[in-house]
Structure 1
Amino acid sequence: MLVRFGFVAMSVLQEKASPSKAVTFKNYQQLARQNPGAALDKVKRVARENLFNTLRLLRHCQVNGVKLYRFSSKIIPLATHPELTDWDYLTELSPQLQQIGEFVKQHEMRVTFHPDHFTLINTPREDVFQASVNDLMHHCRLLEVMRLNDQAKLITHIGGGYGNKKSALDKFIENWARIPQNIARRIALENDDKTFTARDTLCLCQKLQLPMVLDIHHFSCNHETDSRLEDIYPGFVDTWQETGLPPKIHASSPKSEADSRGHHDYVEPGSVYNFIKLARELPIDLDVMVEAKQKDQAMFKLVQDLSQLPGIVPVSAASVRI
């Protein structure tokens, strides 16, 4: 059983390689009052720099055997802001986006986006739903311009509970029927740390035939008293059967006792080790996205720590076999 590890967006090991440099709308407005052309030029310059650094980070991944990477959702500043709708960023930036996509395909990497928390498919508000679809479409079109197939996923949570989880789940199903198909083919749902448990998420994924990302830290924060990972795991694996991809989990550790839902700088290997031992009961490979403040450094350390434990054989700096 091969277990591969990846990291989220940023590197602490590569200097001056942020793919998430921002231009706030306030800053854009201030520049636009003086020189509208200069304001848009700044946005374009930062976007090109973010894409350049994204490719740098993918090369960093390739050199170190990292096959999983999450793109930054801030890769194109102000891309969905209503004041910049006249900027055809997809056409203008397509050469760089296609270069990124070619690198991903050449090195057989698994890449994702994780749209921000304000993207809510199950919202009862029509304006929020339309903004959420707009944001999902933005991420989807980036992947399309990269010429990446539907294995490049958009990972999102179910959304808000709005005081009634059953009604909120029903609203997700109602709104799901309105999601454009090119977006729907890329969606994977993740359990959250406060409202929708792994069991909730699995049931919804099974109903809508969607793959599920299992966050084991979120599971520890938020699960039914009678729920065990052993019970969730087989169904979670089954949701990936038609995708051609290994099942994927998210791994992190609590920031502190006082902040159990926050993410620590590093990942304590015990919880991941226990899950890997559980996973080996089914003969299938597994992908692990490390969500830690120390990014790639935390991922490499986790692999090193796991490699010291019984039954774990290191394969590369970013993968092990059990």
Structure 2
Amino acid sequence: MSNPLKLGFPVKVLGNPALKSNDARRSQSNPHLRVSLGYLSDIFDYLVKHQISMYRMSSDLAPYATHPDMPQFHSMVQDCAGDLATIGNRARELGLRLSFHPSQFIVLNSPDPELVRKSIWDLTSQAEMLDLMELGPEAVMVVHVGGVYDDKIAARQRWVETWPTLPEPVRRRLVLENDDLRFSCADTLYVHEHTGVRLIFDHQHFWCLNPEGLDLRDALSSMLATWPSDVRPKIHFSSPRTELRQLARKNRKTGKAETVNVAPVWTGHADFVQPFEFISFMRIADGLEFDVMLEAKSKDLALIKLRPDLLRYAPDVAARFGLYPAQQKALEGEQESLMESESA
């Protein structure tokens, strides 16, 4: 393997709560992409310090840039062309793999053409940012197929029919992920066959939704094969939350609020990555190359916890990520230090 596989995390940095992922001020305060890029630069410093080479940027990096009622923000991305080029150059120099995962409100298969139009506008803005950063084809925007709308086959077909209407920068950056409730790996493979869109394999979603009974390695291999041979694919990995949940509900008989115990929902993400589950998956995937975006709720802390776990329990898997026994003590110390600062 020419280069170690990368581990990444999304958006929020928990190891240093002072770091902001985007300018979240309300419109009255005139938030700006330029402010967000300053925050992003600080996050880059954090990534370098902790030797993390993959990061998902906030989908709100350019605040209100596509808000239909706020035209004063619409030129924001172009106004920051120079700033985007500068930070993109820094990302390339640092070897950082960056991406976006637009919000759940981005729906390309809706029967409502206005919602589709707005979704395409948002995607166009994010693709423009990636292009102005001059990032390679590995810098993608991840979306889901969307809603079922009472007819899954028709809904899937609408996504296929929307594809050729997308601007070229969007088609070039867009990738499609299997989800946990509506559209399986088989569904996304169907969409790929009819569009050529690259696919993201999500491990937890695969186990939550696989009515076709696909074999894990076969599904993974098929989805990785949708990427060009010169671009390393990436996948998503998370462990299901297993803890008992406590919910506040109204008692139907008394009408009073009460706390009830509820079993876990397997679509929920755990705070950390269960190392033995991850190790087992990576051994099933032996010989396949892909970077891994960890979608644990503890974000960077989960990544920093997983690395010494891999060295302790599976040095063979750790080596695929460029981790070796000589690093064990330092990585354990880093994890303990961050956890102590987070709980302080």
Using structure 1 for the length normalisation, give the TM-score: 0.87
Following the alignment from structure 2 to structure 1, what is the Cα–Cα distance between the partners of residues 148 and 201? 19
Equivalent residue in structure 1 for 2:25, among 12, 23, 34: 23
Equivalent residue in structure 2 for 1:65, among 51, 56, 60: 51
The structure with the larger Rg is: 2
Following the alignment from structure 1 to structure 2, what is the Cα–Cα distance between the partners of residues 163 and 313? 43
Is 1:285 the counterpart of 2:278? The answer is no
Task: Tell me the secondary structure at the aligned position of residue 102 of structure 1.
Answer: helix
Equivalent residue in structure 2 for 1:154, among 98, 116, 141: 141
RCO comparison, higher one (Cα < 8 Å, 6+) = 1
2:30 match: 42
Post-superposition shift, 1:312?
A: 2.4
2:302 match: 298
Post-superposition shift, 1:128?
A: 0.5
1:226-270 per-position Cα deviation (integer Å, ceiling 9, x unaligned): 22212212212211234x222211111223342221222111122
Using structure 2 for the length normalisation, give the TM-score: 0.81
* Structure 2 gap segments, 5+ residues each: 243-262, 325-344
2:252 match: none
Following the alignment from structure 1 to structure 2, what is the Cα–Cα distance between the partners of residues 207 and 12? 40
Is 1:208 the counterpart of 2:214? The answer is no
Cα distance change, pair 292–20 in 1 and its aligned pair in 2 (3 A):
farther
* Structure 1 gap segments, 5+ residues each: 29-38
CA contact (8 A) 2:279 2:317 kept: no
Following the alignment from structure 2 to structure 1, what is the Cα–Cα distance between the partners of residues 43 and 290? 22
Post-superposition shift, 1:4?
A: 1.9
Aligned residues: 301
Post-superposition shift, 1:313?
A: 5.6
Following the alignment from structure 2 to structure 1, what is the Cα–Cα distance between the partners of residues 203 and 105? 22
Equivalent residue in structure 1 for 2:42, among 53, 56, 66: 56
Moved over 6 A (4+): none
One-letter amino acid of the structure 2 residue matched with residue 274 of structure 1: S
CA contact (8 A) 1:52 1:96 kept: no
2:87 match: 100
Following the alignment from structure 2 to structure 1, what is the Cα–Cα distance between the partners of residues 137 and 228? 14
Task: Tell me the secondary structure at the aligned position of residue 5 of structure 2.
Answer: strand
| Percentage identity across paired residues of the two chains | 29
1:7 match: 9
Following the alignment from structure 1 to structure 2, what is the Cα–Cα distance between the partners of residues 52 and 245? 29
Cα distance change, pair 96–195 in 1 and its aligned pair in 2 (3 A):
same
Task: Tell me the secondary structure at the aligned position of residue 300 of structure 2.
Answer: helix
Q: What is the alpha-carbon root mean square deviation over aligned residues? A: 2.1
